[in-house]
Amino acid sequence: MTLSVNERIQLTPKDSCNSELAAGPWAFDAMPGYGPGSSEADPVPEPTAHPGQLPVAYQQMEQDELHRRIRAAKAALGDELVILGHFYQRDEVVQYADFLGDSFQLAKAALTRPEAQSIVFCGVHFMAETADILSRDDQQVILPNLAAGCSMADMADEDSVEAAWEEICEVYGVDPQNVQPDAEGKLPVLPVTYMNSSAALKAFCGRHGGIVCTSSNAETVLEWAFERAHRVLFFPDQHLGRNTAKAMGVPLEQMPMWNPRRPLGGNTEQALVEAKVLLWHGFCSVHRRFTVAQIEQARTEHPGCKVIVHPECPMPVVDAADAAGSTDAIRKYVAASSPGDVIAVGTEINLVNRLAAEYPDRTIFCLDPVICPCSTMYRIHPGYLAWVLDELVAGRAPNQITVSADVAEPARVALDRMLAAVPK
Ligand code: SF4
């Protein structure tokens, strides 16, 4: 039987990949890492560690009281408030969202509510940063739990990327602060960052002729980049970069990995010269759990079933699946299926369970039999939502995410380039 993470506010020890998830998220807010769950082994770089906190009264409150408070505060704040809920967020939280979507859909959705003074983002840190960059100056963006980071985003910190850029530019014989096109009119290298990255890295791309991509438009963005440069430095997710470039025909030998802990990223100068895509050594702890063996097992147990996975999954998994696509593409794939179809999905459990509930006339299940939610999304518990909404009603703005103008401006340049890049 598939256990739902949405039937309870906290997981029970026997359901999940880590029994410690049965505690409330506040039990790990003060921990140095990401807490128990899929991301627990990933180091949190010092500059991006965001300790969270929840007043004790909210930690101890009955569930009914938390939900009563959320409803009351929402009613009191009316149009001054917009709540955004990510697809990977638990149902106890997204039931209050005015918009449900992926990170970029949500940042754009907030723009359709200009009367909202407060944007409460039930997602993770980089998403709230993007919403702040795209929103008006007089709007405030609130992240209910500051400890809700993203282990993948944190795998590429600004200092490591700056250091890599200097090394790479030295190999190509260009000034890292002023990379100019060659006689062919192309840059030697151009940075591309996945949406799942800090505002500082989006700004880095904006300053160096680069661009942001999402999992929906990565191919379009790479086409844009290859029109302007001989090669790209793609961060933080190696899998999205590799899967996308491979589908475009780039040979694997021309996609060296850049390991920030090794000189030249662990490559020879020759490999860097011949490269088309330099892949940062980053990954999503949730999506890397999916395996080819799980796909084989699904096909054995459900002959004729279809398998769709997210492009943050490792390349062999994407190659073995029937289809791969962003969260939005997965939703559309399921919507286009027929009653009676069986679909195994390789993405975060909350989205899979929601799809299964939306389409009860077909069998939809997660490829991974162990429940392992995104452990940082999991940190947005209704207790945190109730607390920040009560604070807003009282005229205070807790956990505000503010991107300084010197970062927001170049980051917006990279985001605008992405918006202007259209598929051929
Ligand atoms: S699912 Fe992966 S990429 Fe998305 S927020 Fe969680 S750790 Fe980050």
Give the DSSP letter string of 389-420: HHHHHTT--TTB----HHHHHHHHHHHHHHHH
Measured distance CA(342)–CA(338) in Å, rounded: 9
Tokens of 364: 């939809």
Question: In terms of domains, do 380 and 326 share one?
Answer: no
Structure tokens at 385: 């939502």
Asked if residue 209 is part of any domain, the answer here is yes
Q: Classify residue 71: in a domain, yes or no.
A: yes
Based on the domain organization, do 126 and 167 belong to the same domain? no
pTM above 0.85, yes or no: yes
**Cα Dmax for the chain:** 68
Residue 62, domain member (yes or no): yes
Residue type present at position 318: V
Residue 215 CB–ligand 1 contact under 6 Å: no
Q: Are 258 and 345 members of one domain?
A: no
Inside any domain, residue 237? yes
127 and 71 assigned to the same domain:
yes
pLDDT at residue 24, rounded to an integer = 76
Query: Where is 212: in which H helix or E strand?
Result: strand 211-213
Tell me, yes or no, whether 208 and 174 share the same domain. yes
Give dist(CA 318, CA 310) in Å, integer: 8
Cα gap 340→105, rounded to integer Å: 30
Domain that holds residue 345: 287-366
Scanning the structure block, which residue is given the tokens 């147990």?
Answer: 301
Same domain, yes or no: 130 and 51: yes
CATH number for 60? 3.40.50.10800
Task: Evaluate whether 92 touches 382 at the Cβ level (below 8 Å).
Answer: yes
Tell me the CA–centroid distance for residue 348 and ligand 1, in Å: 9
Q: Is the CB of 348 under 6 A from ligand 1?
A: yes
Provide the domain count of the chain.
Answer: 3
Indicate whether 218 and 361 sit together in one domain: no
Burial class (CB in 10 A: 0-12, 13-18, 19+), 59: middle
- State residue 4's pLDDT score: 45
376: Cβ below 6 Å to ligand 1?
yes
User: 412 and 277 share a domain?
Assistant: yes
Q: Is 416 inside a domain boundary? A: yes
In a domain, 273, yes or no: yes
The CB-side HSE value for 410 (13 A sphere, CA atoms) comes to 15
**Average pLDDT per block of 10 residues along the chain, 424 residues long:** 49 64 75 59 53 86 95 98 94 94 86 93 94 93 92 91 97 95 96 96 97 95 98 98 98 97 96 98 92 97 97 98 96 97 95 94 91 83 96 95 96 94 74
Residues 194 and 85 in one domain: no
Please report where in the chains the tokens 């799980």 appear, as a residue: 294
- What separation in Å is there between the alpha carbon of 149 and the centre of ligand 1? 9
For residue 2, what pLDDT is reported? 44
In a domain, 337, yes or no: yes
| Contact of 106 with 84, CB cutoff 8 Å | yes
Which residue's alpha carbon is nearest to atom 2 within ligand 1? 284
Within a domain: residue 256?
A: yes
Residue 375 CA from chain centroid, whole number: 12
